[in-house]
Chain A
């Protein structure tokens, strides 16, 4: 009923975002083996259609609205109050868009070595699962999608990955399954306890969040049941050990998707099902999360510095970057949380692109060892320049997107979590160290015999990169459109935390972009 009132269109766009990839996957799976040219075409069509619709979604999103938009709600299992309840707000909007854009690019960027058909079908299933997780507003539906995501990812890693792929895939699967098992218990317990307050059984996230009144100790137990699942997914130190293996062994498209959107399931979950559902418990336990986040930042950076494998290095850098996002979430200020939300997208873009580069390097040289690569800048200058840009975005150089997120997180967190922020700032420096050092070792110097034949960036690869580079520059220079859409939802979320605890958000020292009267940088605006 809400759908027709708040959304500008009656078309169930959110359901379409989930079902188009599923339909695409089914068609791909059913295509006959005798026509090998079709699967990729169908997969591209499905994913591009999804991408187009997600962009349309972003365009017609009401900027000032804090609540859920495009809501669609249909009863699914009446007896338990389970409904197909989808909706999008400022927090999930850009993750949905990112999911939409990233998949066609990943499909286009790299071809699998074998069995293209099931590969593409699994990839599309994965997209549907991730979309569903970001869009669902029903605990039951969310859990279904959260679990569905596991299966395609397992098969993608185990089927099309590198040497130790089966080990990595199994590790990934069991870690995540371990977390979800606790979430399942917590989820049902939440519903069971909430139904006593509400008076009827419902799995509706919004109804539970608004009407249920958990006692402090109950809420904390439930929160931790959820949080374990998300902490594995993020991953938060010390539950991160599956990540380097999974990333390194996954096929390139798998790594891109894993880093780009799947890790965000964890941080998104912490926001939506942690802070939103259990504001008291998440505020109460903030120090724990802040500490773990900071440990993750420093540990990830140091571990990345010591890697000899380029892909593993990028994987560990993810641990560090995700630590910043967790830091921002549990600092509970408008700036830090908006920064975290933006940083989720930024990390998806820049780390996704980094994994593409690593994949291309591997395709060309059949090695990912940093020591085997040298002087690539001389033989492939455009490749090197593009890599440089993406890497700088990951480091957080002003003017590129990584800076906006990290800056907001650090300034926002400084108000409420001073000492953690000080330590975390060290992580920014370390990021510069390991990434620039890696760049120096791989691209500088004189190329030896093997590296002399390193091919330059192909046109197809360049086309795939363009959206990434465009986003990196645009969001770095002009993040206002993103912030405008994110901030109302974040404010509402912090308002919820203030309602349920004695927390009062301190006054920000630095005004956010949309508080100022003029655009941030008028001269550079045109470049975006």
Chain B
């Protein structure tokens, strides 16, 4: 029996693996185990060390990414082009790791003071980041799906972290149910895609779709796949989970969802759109056009009516998603592809800094006020001028006021859209322009409260922010300003308008 098995194994050769290219993922995977084991050993009083170790794991992975970026010449392609480490992937990996690091900084005190389980939280966080890092390189439907689940399943649990709180439970359940539903839709689309093209590799699918006319099955598959990702990026009309989940989840987790998870959804969407769907631009472009227009409009209009700051930020993040989506609606126009890709990446980076920063300020302030109402931010300038200035920078950046990162990102997105030069592009740009004004209205409303109003309870004792939160604020403020003043930095950080396998056709 064994002999016959061994005889059969003769024609098997294991794939050659470029281990260096996988270094960031390997560091994270090892880190998960270290954190899990250490959590068992550490006494309750020393649990704070877990956060520090998590930070080091993320930084270690970040170093690996940087080394790959500096030493790598060209793209490294693994597993027959199913896993690619190129500049595009590296930049997004760095973004995910940095965002996760900021989230760790933000969660540290929150978890310690809330008495939540610390070890498990960081294990889940790193697992989720591992999924995102994988997503950046995945060029195959199977690995995209595994990455998506790997980043989502820990996220469901993190949403319900505050077990005693009904809202947190609601957040977790809602996120879970809709997330699983989205996965099902996505999987259905993927299986149709596989059935229609006979491959799970994105480049093969791209070639198959370009070759000859689209058949009805392709159309249904493309629509399902795009809609599946639309859940993850909370694009209207697939956004219903976002506000409740954002409000119920612990605030650092919300920051993580609104930045990292959303970015991962966009990354998957970009890989699919640019590599697999160039032949189906007639299908996904109108779909994304409509979604982008609806997303920014609905998100903004609903954000206008919110009185809770986290809910407002939730809707604002929905509407920002519309702006990020906007260039993708013209990804297939001749010559626009690279600009659209660049616009989305730049927006994701800028958005990560400013939105994490906005949440960091909210966390710092609510530690004192214990209230999420916008009115509770009154008088912030009088008792915490530093936080007020930081908040002004983030909200002004979100509103798109120069010379801050968000403005540059918006500008970039507009430019990509207008490069297309079609009537649809002009109409979408005009819709987006009106939306920037609506968005400015609610961002300025918060700033008005911060600068002009009196403290609601007359309590003007200064806010004492713990060191990790201050560090998070410093990183995000710096990023928001530097990216706005020296946008060359992003443009020069590699030719990010190149995506291996894309733009060939």
Contacts and interface: CB of A to CB of B under 8 A. Distances in A.
Main secondary structure of the interface of A (DSSP, over half): helix
Interface stretch (B112-120, B278-286, B425-433): B425-433
Nearest to B497: A79
B359 to A, nearest CB: 22
Contacts of A154: 444
Contacts of A151: 396, 401
Contacts of A181: 433-434, 436-437
Contact of B451 (A155, A185, A189): A155
Contact of A158 (B418, B451, B487): B451
Interface in A179-202: 181-182, 184-185, 188-189, 191-193
A334 to B, nearest CB: 36
Contact of B488 (A76, A150, A185): A76
A178 B438 CA distance: 9
Given A170-B448, A188-B418, A148 B433 contact: no
B434 to A, nearest CB: 7
A78 B487 CA distance: 10
Main secondary structure of the interface of B (DSSP, over half): helix
Interface stretch (B3-11, B84-92, B407-415): B407-415
Contacts of B448: 158, 166, 169-170
Interface in B388-412: 396, 401-403, 407, 410-411
Contacts of A78: 488, 491
A173 interface: yes
A128 to B, nearest CB: 11
B425 to A, nearest CB: 9
Interface string B447-486: 0100110000000000000000000000000000000000
B444 A77 contact: no
B402 A148 contact: yes
Interface string A148-164: 10110011001100000
Contacts of B491: 77-79
B220 interface: no
Contacts of A150: 401
Contact of A177 (B415, B437, B445): B437
B415 A192 contact: yes
Contact of B440 (A148, A174, A191): A174
B247 interface: no
B414 A188 contact: yes
Contacts of A76: 488
B135 to A, nearest CB: 27
A466 interface: no
A60 B59 CA distance: 56
A143 interface: yes
B63 interface: no
Scoring B419, B432, B441 by chain A CB atoms within 10 A of each residue's CB, the highest score goes to B419
A177 B403 contact: no
B411 to A, nearest CB: 7
Contact of A192 (B402, B421, B430, B452): B421
A386 to B, nearest CB: 34
B414 A166 contact: no
Contacts of A170: 441, 444-445, 448
A173 B451 CA distance: 16
B101 to A, nearest CB: 28
A116 interface: no
A193 B421 contact: yes
Interface string A337-354: 000000000000000000
Given A158-B448, A159-B452, A173-B440, A144 B403 contact: yes
Given A170-B448, A185-B430, A148 B403 contact: yes
A282 B467 CA distance: 57
Contact of A184 (B396, B433, B440): B433
A144 B402 contact: yes
Scoring A80, A140, A154, A185 by chain B CB atoms within 10 A of each residue's CB, the highest score goes to A185
A147 interface: yes
Contact of B415 (A144, A155, A166, A188): A188
Contacts of B419: 192
A77 B402 CA distance: 15
Contacts of B437: 174, 177-178, 181
A174 B436 CA distance: 10
Contact of B407 (A147, A166, A185): A147
Contacts of B421: 189, 192-193
Nearest to A173: B444
A191 B414 CA distance: 11
Nearest to A82: B487
B465 to A, nearest CB: 19
Contacts of B445: 170
A155 B441 CA distance: 14
Contacts of A173: 440, 444
A184 B407 CA distance: 11
B154 to A, nearest CB: 38
A77 B441 CA distance: 30
A26 to B, nearest CB: 12
A185 B414 contact: yes
A80 B491 CA distance: 10
Nearest to B444: A173
B451 A148 contact: no
A36 B444 CA distance: 29
A201 B238 CA distance: 37
Contacts of B396: 151
A449 B402 CA distance: 52
A166 B452 contact: yes
A497 to B, nearest CB: 27
A140 B418 CA distance: 15
Nearest to A195: B419
Interface string B25-45: 000000000000000000000
A339 B104 CA distance: 62
A177 B441 CA distance: 9
12 contacts: A79-B488, A80-B415, A148-B403, A154-B444, A158-B448, A174-B441, A177-B437, A185-B418, A185-B432, A185-B433, A188-B415, A188-B429
Interface of B: 396, 401-403, 407, 410-411, 414-415, 418-419, 421, 426, 429-430, 432-434, 436-437, 440-441, 444-445, 448, 451-452, 487-488, 491
Q: List the 6 closest pairs (A to B, CB-CB), nearest first.
A: A181-B433, A144-B402, A188-B418, A185-B429, A189-B418, A192-B418
Given A151-B401, A159-B451, A185-B429, 17 more contacts: A79-B488, A144-B403, A147-B401, A158-B452, A170-B444, A174-B441, A177-B437, A181-B436, A182-B433, A184-B433, A185-B418, A185-B432, A185-B433, A192-B415, A192-B418, A192-B421, A193-B421
